[in-house]
Chain A
Amino acid sequence: MTDQAITAAPFVARESFIELGARERARALLDPGTFRELLGPFDRLTSPWLPLQGIVCQADDGVVIARGTIDGAPAVVAAIESAFQGGSIGEVAGSKIAGALELALRDCENGRPVRPVIVFETGGVRLQEANLGLAVIAEIQSAIVSLRRHVPVVGVIAGMVGCFGGMSLAAALCTRLVMTRQGRLGMNGPEVIEQEAGIDELDATDRLRIWQLIGGAQRVASGFADMLVEDDASAIATAVHVAFSQGVASPHRSEAVQRYLDSLARIDPATVAPEAMRAVFRPCAQQDACDDPACGQHAAPQANREESQ
């Protein structure tokens, strides 16, 4: 699936996806003219917790939910606005995403497939709403796992905030992830790692190093994301179309537990480098089966263990 070549327009002809706000991103991913927002700013579903802490609310709590079509098929896009509170997931913002996914699940179960897309641009849970934010992130994750059996759940990580914290786990549960070079995907952000483990562990100002570790190119090369696309709105929309056309995955990345345990066992934390991560975790190029004993991706009996329990 990484072999899909998605070519972007020449640089000057591109429309940057990164520079778009959440609403325009959602619009760019849906077929032209089909964008219809649910629970928009005039519904004023705002955080009840931020004003108590002296923080100004945004009328949509930083999440845009839009219905429309993708390649003519019904779709729902949940796009996170990174400019509001760092794209953090509070109770309302997260509930909007979880609710949209749960409604899509209900439609799928009733034989009306809905294509779900999540545009991740988030530092993770909103610390001002800590436990409620965490609870709702769990709901989002649970909805993704239920939904991905019926229809691919496609995530987009364009940058520049990236995708961190609990929402990085939600991203990892998606069927397929589309990233740009500017996008980053990781559990803890560089500043947090430096603060907690010291500058010897990671210098958060070393941008080259950080992108080598968690940037889109590295994540795709090591199989934690699926498609690397230029920062171009139409190229990203095309990548999302392709991701849906590839159908439901089997097994899902997060079900290949033994494969990842085996790969992790081959990593020496003392000497690991970005290239070693690519060598060990690189996705297998074979579509259906392969003879490579080091490839755990096609070990179906092990990979399906989680699902069958």
Chain B
Amino acid sequence: MEHLTFEYPAQHVVTSRAHVGVVGSGDLEVLLWPNDAMRTQVAVQTSVDGYGHIWKSVLDRFFSRFDGAVRVEINDFGATPGVVSLRLAEAVEAVQAARDAGGAADPGAPR
């Protein structure tokens, strides 16, 4: 098990949070929520050791396109880079849909 952290500059505020995926074989879980500071911070917990350079490539590319100020927690159970990107896109889509709808991304969350 390996713990990796990444940080990127951010340009705009995000107001809602999202949770997608499951820590199942070949899959991962993404928790994404607003960051108080104007930057993006990513923490990865992965079951597969030695792939830090691949994580960096995948996350560098993703956060060059999405520049919301969020904190991201990834719990990975051997997802391939394609699955990682899809799950991140799914999480971002959820917060953007919530922004467009003017509500929270997870209406089921206790308030």
Q: Which residues of A contact B (CB under 8 A)?
A: 21, 23, 27, 35-38, 40-42, 51, 54-59, 66, 81, 83-85
Contact status A83-B31, CB under 8 Å:
no
Q: Which residues of B contact A (CB under 8 A)?
A: 1, 17, 19, 22-25, 27, 29, 31, 33, 45-47, 73, 75-77, 106-110
* Given contact pairs A42-B17, A51-B1, A66-B108, A58 touches B73 in the complex (Cβ within 8 A): no
* Given contact pairs A56-B46, A56-B47, A59-B75, A37 touches B110 in the complex (Cβ within 8 A): yes
Contact status B25-A37, CB under 8 Å:
no
Contact status B108-A40, CB under 8 Å:
yes
- The contact of A57 among B27, B45, B107, by CB within 8 Å, is B45
* Given contact pairs A83-B24, A83-B27, A56 touches B110 in the complex (Cβ within 8 A): no
Instruction: Count contacts between A and B, CB distance < 8 Å.
Output: 62
Main SS of the interface on chain B? loop
Q: Which of A35, A37, A56, A83 has the largest count of B CB atoms less than 10 A from its CB?
A: A56
Q: Please give, as numbers and ranges, the residues of chain A lying within 8 Å of B27 by CB-CB distance.
A: 83
In this complex, what residue of A is CB-closest to B28? A56
Q: Which of B17, B27, B46, B75 has the largest count of A CB atoms less than 10 A from its CB?
A: B75
* Given contact pairs A42-B33, A59-B19, A83-B27, A36 touches B1 in the complex (Cβ within 8 A): no
Contact status A41-B31, CB under 8 Å:
yes
